Amino acid sequence: MTTKNLDIANRERLIFALDVATLEEARSLIAKLDDSIEFYKLGLEVFLSGHYFELLEELKGRGKKIFADLKLFDIPATVAAAVRQLARHQVDFCTVHGNDSMLRAAADAKDKVQILAVTALTSLDQGDLDDLGFQCDARTLVLSRAKRALALGCDGVVSSGLEVKALRQYADSRLITVCPGIRPVHNDSSEQDDQQRVIGPYQAIAQGADYLVVGRPIRTASDPHAAAESIQQEIARAFSDQAGNADKH
């Protein structure tokens, strides 16, 4: 296992995707999760609730970290302006989904925000990539985009845990890896899943992921707090096993 920033607190490595439609739903989940989650991802669904920045400020007031997953995609000047706005709100991560000029503009405007380039959405399989006109497999696409992002001044990438080992072999400690599509083995959710390229929490950390993004398996669990704590335990076990293996050598 090769990871970046081993001083990241283990409990901050789990990012909960707060994908809900209303402020009331968001507040209810935050109250249930309590100390089990230290890092929240706020995406488009909660943005369209009309209470995005209100919720963001409430979470910051609780000492939580914020991942603004808005996948900015526009002309470079507009992307840069949006990043500067997010920086004013002290978000920790921000996603950009675009070409070189967009990524460079975001990196130039980031201040203390860490810019994450989107590589390939974890809901896409090979057939989807073919439909989009990519004449390569997901791994090749992810590595290509990660190399560009790093060269352009981005801090990290969003990618499936299935590709993170290859990313580590290329970038090692220089690149933050944030992995969605995390699906615990014991998941009591029966909701239909739209993710294609998935991996378990322990395996993702073992492959070198820095952060894991989990939404539905926690959100729809009968006990969200317990579901989050179970994933936290998997993360801790992965690092404990890593330390044990290192001692053996």
Alpha carbons 219 and 237: distance in angstroms, whole number: 23
3-state secondary structure 116-137: EEECCCCCCCHHHHHHCCCCCC
Q: What is the arithmetic mean of pLDDT over 75-95? A: 97
Query: Known catalytic residues?
Result: 71
- Please state which CATH class domain 10-248 belongs to: alpha beta
Query: What stretch of H or E contains 65?
Result: strand 65-72
Q: What is the arithmetic mean of pLDDT over 25-30? A: 98
Q: For residue 41, is pLDDT > 60?
A: yes
Domain ranges of the chain: 10-248
Residue 99 backbone phi and psi in degrees, to 5: -90, -175
**pLDDT confidence of residue 139:** 62
Alpha carbons 62 and 64: distance in angstroms, whole number: 6
Residues 130-160 pLDDT 10s: 444 444 566 666 787 888 889 999 999 988 7
Say what the pTM is: 0.87
Smallest Cα–Cα separation from 180: which of 65, 16, 30, 7?
A: 16
**CA angle, 218 as apex, 156 and 91 as ends, to 5°?**
35
Question: Under a CB-based contact definition with an 8 Å cutoff, are residues 47 and 72 in contact?
Answer: no
**Lowest mean pLDDT: which of 55-69, 130-144, 172-186, 227-241?**
130-144
| Secondary structure (DSSP) of 150-214 | HHTT--EEE--TTTHHHHHHHHGGGSEEEE--B--SS----S-----S-B-HHHHHHHT-SEEEE
Total residue length of the chain: 249
